[in-house]
Amino acid sequence: MPEDAVKHDQKVRSLLDDPNISAFGKYQMLTTGEASFWEFLKYDTLQWLCSWMPGAAGYFLRQKLYPTLFAELGRGATIGRACSFRGVKRIKIGRNVMIEDNVVLEARGPDSELVIGDNVLIARNSVVRARGGRIVLGDETDIGTNCIVSTDSELTIGREVLIAAFAYVCAGGNHRFDDPERSIMKQGFDKQGGVRIGDGAWIGSHVMVMDGATIGEGAIIGSHAVVRDEIPAMQIAVGTPARVIKSRPSV
C-alpha cells in the first residue's frame, strides 16, 4: 500500500486521535478550522443566536451576522434554519446564494476548501463536504434535497448544473483492502482523480457519481444510474453502470 494513501487518511483522523488535544480543542478545530479561541467563541455565539430563529427575522440576522464567520459570504446570500458548518474559515460563498434549512457545509482538514459560486441553490437536508480536498460549485448550479456531494480530492461542478434529489456525488476514492492484517479503515484510499461535471449537465434523482467520473457539458444522467467513467458532452446515459443511449439534438 502506498505510504501517501495512509498519510492522507491520517490527516483527517490525526486531530481526533491526538491525546495532547482536549475534547474541547478538537471540537473547536472541527468547527472553525482554526486554533483561535475567539474565532470559536464568535462562531458558537452566532450559531446559538441565529441558527434556530425562524421566519424573516432569522434570515435577516443570519444575513447580517454570518459574513464574519466565513472566509467569504457574498451580498444577498440567505441561509435557512438549523444549518451546520465545519471549517468555516475554508468556506467561500458567493452572491445571492440560497442555502435552505438543515444543510451541512464542511471543509474539514487543513487542505480543504469549499467554494460556492453566485446564485447557487442548495436545497434542504443536503450535505456538501470537502474532507482534505476541494469542492467548487459553479454559478447558478442547483443541488436538490437530500443530496450528498463529498470529496477527499477534487470535485468540480460547472455552471447551471441541475442535480436532482437524493443524488450522491463522491470523489473520495475506494477504501483499500489489500492488507489482511490491518483494518480497512487504516489502509487509506485508492483514488481515481476526482469528479468533474460540466456546465449545463442534468443529474437525475438517486444517481451515484463515483470517483474518476467525468460528465460532459449538457449531458443528462437518468435516475438511479451509477456513473464511474466518462459520459461525453450532450449525451444521455442511463443504467448501472451508466451507458450512453442517445445524443441530445445539436445546434
Instruction: Enter the DSSP assignment of 105.
Output: E
Active site residue: 8, 175, 206, 224, which one?
A: 175
Rounded CA separation 46/237 (Å): 45
175 has catalytic annotation: yes
203 and 165 in contact (C-beta within 8 Å)? Answer: no
Rounded CA separation 30/47 (Å): 15
- Amino acid 171 reads A
Rounded CA separation 146/236 (Å): 24
The C-alpha cell of 9 is what?
487518511
Q: What is the 3-state secondary structure (H, E, C) of 208-220?
A: EECCCCEECCCCE
The residues assigned a catalytic role are 175
